Structure 1
Amino acid sequence: MIFVLVYCTTGISGGHINPAVTFGLFLARKVTLPRAFMYIVAQCLGAVCGCGLVKAFQKTYYHAYGGGANELAEGYSKGTGLGAEIIGTFVLVYTVFSATDPKRNARDSHVPVLAPLSIGFAVFMVHLATIPITGTGINPARSFGAAVMYRKDKAWDDQWLFWVGPMIGAAIAAYYHQYVLRTGAVKALGSFRSNA
Structure 2
Amino acid sequence: MPIRNIAIGRPEEATHPDALKAGLAEFISTLIFVFAGQGSGIAFNKLTNDGAATPAGLISASIAHAFALFVAVSVGANISGGHVNPAVTFGAFVGGNITLLRGIIYWIAQLLGSVVACLLLKFVTGLPTGSFALSAGVGELNAFVFEIVMTFGLVYTVYATAVDPKKGSLGTIAPIAIGFIVGANILAGGAFTGASMNPAVAFGPSVVSWSWESHWIYWAGPLIGGGLAGLIYEFIFISNSHEQLPTTDY
Q: Tell me, yes or no, whether TM beats 0.5.
A: yes
How many equivalent residue pairs? 176
Task: Please point out which of 172, 177, 181 is paired with 2:228.
Answer: 172
**How much does 1:183 deviate?**
5.4
Aligned to 1:47: 114
Task: Report the aligned-residue RMSD.
Answer: 1.5
Aligned to 2:78: 11
1:156 aligns to what SS in structure 2?
A: coil
Matched, 1:79 2:141: yes
Query: Is the 2:164–2:238 Cα contact (8 Å) retained in structure 1?
Result: no
In the TM superposition, what whole-angstrom CA distance separates every residue of 1:95-137 from its partner, at most 9, and x where no partner exists? 0000013432xxx632111110100001111111111111111
Where in structure 1 are there 5+ consecutive unaligned residues? 190-196
In the TM superposition, what whole-angstrom CA distance separates every residue of 1:6-63 from its partner, at most 9, and x where no partner exists? 0011122110210000000000111011100010001000000000011111224x3x
Matched, 1:70 2:126: no
Aligned to 2:14: none
Give the TM-score taking structure 1 as reference length.
0.85
- Note the 1:110-121 alignment, pairs <5 A: 110-121=169-180
Q: Distance in 1 between matches of 2:70 and 2:216?
A: 27
Q: Distance in 1 between matches of 2:220 and 2:188?
A: 19
Q: Distance in 2 between matches of 1:59 and 1:134?
A: 26
Give the counterpart letter for 1:77 in structure 2: G
Give the counterpart letter for 2:75 in structure 1: C
Matched, 1:162 2:218: yes
Matched, 1:96 2:130: no
Matched, 1:136 2:199: no
Give the structure, 1 or 2, with the largest relative contact order (CA under 8 Å, sep 6 or more): 1
Give the TM-score taking structure 2 as reference length.
0.67
Aligned to 1:193: none
Q: Distance in 2 between matches of 1:86 and 1:183?
A: 24
